[in-house]
Structure 1
């Protein structure tokens, strides 16, 4: 049992690191507001691949990458997870660049509930009574938010389902974080090139090459995409899926605050009540987690 705690602690730190970086994404995409959303997604994919390959060389994981590519089952799983994360990226970029930051925030508030449901159905994970209470409180808050955002609910639902499916697929895929992300970006390379060709043929054309600032920001999409996804994929293999999802409330809370402070989106009183439900749920879930870890440590 003592060996289990450091493993879970490491996974928790990796998950929190990924979620914190994702909190900052709205600021990054706001700097690219003059670039077409699908062009941003395409360059994001294409610049993530060389970043991953450089990391593969630096960390000497070429053997793991070759083993993953030689296994049809792993390639199939990563093709699915790559498709899901590509859909997630597209919806997120469109939402943020069209001014729907709070709709994106709601999507990632829904996602933990999707993860808990997937964990109980597909992974047979069991939650304590306090954790189910936390899930119920969060569900009330999310339902109240969704009621007032029906016009952008497709954004929120799309983000929640695509990222929930991505996390579940990566948890089940028998491959480590970096080789897995590398294969995913390989799978997405051809669609990304197709998007760029389509954008180049449009009247607006491509923004890449229009200014050194835009070029640098688009190139920077590689590391800022790859680093948190590697942290997340590693955490997904170490943590219970329900826990991984529930602590994801860190990201939408950060995005929500970003929408209020940096993007001046209005806050309704009903939204504040909903967020109070969610934050109380987070406190209950974390309290139960701490108590269970203390009990485990005491009996170890």
Structure 2
């Protein structure tokens, strides 16, 4: 049975949090499409700055400063956190660019590929032994990308870079002893000085859109809140659900993006692209089945 029994209130709450997180992430294209005429670089700067500001308020309200102070008091251990910060910053920026350049289908493909990239990184970097079906799934994804390159003459580089950056972020994030909220704050805090310098430079050059148009300025500030909210919901789900359930819910995000790209943004989906999507979806089905079969039989964490 995939979802826990409905009589377990904590499990029901966990599924609710998980659905909220992945639906919010899936609807991100609708939000970032509102920034018409603002470069992705400037949106990224504001996303970092206002995420940091919002998280300061949130952590203060929740009295969660202890793990943050502990992490900041050990600068020699911040190397992996800095790598995580650079990877997630790059991922955010590339995703915003994908939305602005009407390539949400590529973005959705990137997040469909991410679990399979995690499998590859686990095998190559951590020397993990993969199940046969997981290797088949990885091979199908590689074949799909090769078909796109051979028949279309180009690599889906946005998809690949989103999957690689987010997969690598997950790899390093596992080695950082910080919860989701504290970890995101320390990551954005490390990027904050650079973002502030970049924002100052944009203002000095007269290229900043902030405080020029009030509605757009509000949207730029709200981007920080939009960044933190799904993470908080995800943290609530992770504490209450099995990893196998979270893994199943994960596909909601790129599925919503795929539907938005086709129905709202009207992005074209050629026959070759559809065929490669189907191959990757089939690979994900094999991967999910393999993960489900090998799951540990233990009660959910409460």
TM surpasses 0.5:
yes
Matched position secondary structure for 2:156: helix
Instruction: Mark the CA change 1:246 to 1:278 in structure 2 (over 3 Å): closer, same or farther.
Output: farther
The 5 A counterparts of 1:53-202 are: 53-147=56-150, 151=154, 153-202=156-205
Partner of 2:268: 266
Offset of residue 125 of structure 1 = 3.6
Q: Distance in 2 between matches of 1:84 and 1:200?
A: 26
Structure 1, unaligned runs of 5 or more: 1-5
Check the 8 A contact 1:171/1:237 in 2, yes or no.
Answer: no
Instruction: Mark the CA change 1:155 to 1:195 in structure 2 (over 3 Å): closer, same or farther.
Output: farther
Check the 8 A contact 1:112/1:242 in 2, yes or no.
Answer: no
Instruction: Mark the CA change 1:240 to 1:117 in structure 2 (over 3 Å): closer, same or farther.
Output: farther
Alignment: residue pair count: 291
Offset of residue 120 of structure 1 = 2.2
**TM-score for the superposition, normalised by structure 1:** 0.81
Instruction: Mark the CA change 1:160 to 1:287 in structure 2 (over 3 Å): closer, same or farther.
Output: closer
Offset of residue 8 of structure 1 = 11
Partner of 1:257: 259
Instruction: Mark the CA change 1:256 to 1:222 in structure 2 (over 3 Å): closer, same or farther.
Output: same
Deviations along 1:61-80, whole A, 9 cap, x unmatched? 11111111112244222111
Offset of residue 115 of structure 1 = 1.0
Q: Distance in 2 between matches of 1:12 and 1:141?
A: 32
Offset of residue 242 of structure 1 = 11
Offset of residue 272 of structure 1 = 1.7
Deviations along 1:180-219, whole A, 9 cap, x unmatched? 111111111122122223322445x222223332122111
Instruction: Mark the CA change 1:126 to 1:39 in structure 2 (over 3 Å): closer, same or farther.
Output: same
Instruction: Mark the CA change 1:157 to 1:133 in structure 2 (over 3 Å): closer, same or farther.
Output: closer
**As a proportion of its length, which structure holds more helix?**
1
Instruction: Answer yes or no: is 1:215 the counterpart of 2:217.
Output: yes
Instruction: Answer yes or no: is 1:31 the counterpart of 2:42.
Output: no
Check the 8 A contact 2:32/2:96 in 1, yes or no.
Answer: yes
Partner of 1:49: 52
**TM-score for the superposition, normalised by structure 2:** 0.81
Partner of 1:3: none
Deviates more, 1:80-89 or 1:18-27: 18-27
Instruction: Mark the CA change 1:16 to 1:70 in structure 2 (over 3 Å): closer, same or farther.
Output: farther
Deviates more, 1:67-76 or 1:104-113: 104-113
Instruction: Mark the CA change 1:246 to 1:139 in structure 2 (over 3 Å): closer, same or farther.
Output: farther
